[in-house]
Amino acid sequence: MSVAGRHIVITGGGTGVGRAVAVAFAHAGAKVTVIGRREGPLREVAGQHKFIGWVSCDVSDPEAMGAAFRQARGLNGPVSVVVANAGAAESVPFQKMTPEHLQAMLSVNLGGVVNAWQAALPDMKSEGWGRLIAVASTAGLKGYAYVSGYVAAKHAVVGLTRSLALELASTGITANAICPGYIETPMLDRSITNIVEKTGMTEEAARTSLMAGNPQRRFVQPDEVAGTALWLCSDAARSVNGHTLSISGGEI
């Protein structure tokens, strides 16, 4: 099976991993729609390939997501694959975490996946084929200090994926989660800046401290996640369902 001609929707598609996934699928011949909040980065990604379109949307808003998917269908037809990549991480000690902070982590990191997958399922069920892919995190497989809200949300994404995989197993649709470690993206840059501001570390020391968790002593690159997403859409992965693929150099 090739993704050529199939419609792929990617949330959080304007930067980092989402951008890499969009370009990889477009070069593989897929029709791609990137979704995100900021028009500027989306337009820039769309300019990378003639097969990439864009729609601006807050992924945490179910109604807005439904409207975005209707617009995406108008651009590229029924949706065959969703890569739910939009996410956000904020650091705060558990005792200082407010209900608003926790809800913010859940709304984007979990709600964004739920909203995207629900919006796409009717198309996939009609076709009898589909791929639901969540870009989760190693934070969905283990704990990290000072980001308990983010970790809770990513664990929830893993649970959602496993449940939905069973629910849809007989329909030709699979659901899987990609769980990278620290990826060299703008989100990582923000984490490093936060460490520097709160601890007084140098930027180099902060980068080294985060990199130390990866046994390969390096950060994951966005193209590694993109390649994994492409593989999950191949015939070779047709029995891979409800799986969490750790891309972390052996961290977990």
- Catalytic (active site) residue 182: no
Q: How confident is the model at residue 188 (pLDDT cuts 50, 70, 90)?
A: confident
In this structure, which amino acid lies at residue 19?
R
Could you state, in order of their start, the residue ranges of all structural domains in the chain?
7-181+221-246, 182-219
In this structure, which amino acid lies at residue 102?
L
Strand partners, 174: 131
CATH class label, 7-181+221-246: alpha beta
Q: How confident is the model at residue 249 (pLDDT cuts 50, 70, 90)?
A: very high
**pLDDT tens digits along 107-116:** 999 999 999 9
Contact in structure between 59 and 116 (CB atoms under 8 Å): yes
Which among 149, 165, 130, 21 has a CA at the least distance from the CA of 86?
21
Q: Which pLDDT does position 189 carry in this prediction?
A: 87
144, 146, 150, 182: which one is catalytic?
A: 150
Looking at per-residue pLDDT, the higher value among 193 and 57 belongs to: 57
Q: How confident is the model at residue 198 (pLDDT cuts 50, 70, 90)?
A: confident
- Token pair 């209707």 is at which residue? 70
Q: Quickly count helices (H) and strands (E) in the chain.
A: 9, 7
User: Is the C-alpha dihedral spanning 118, 122, 128, 130 positive or negative?
Assistant: negative
In the predicted structure, residue 1 carries a pLDDT above the cut 80: no
Q: How confident is the model at residue 145 (pLDDT cuts 50, 70, 90)?
A: very high
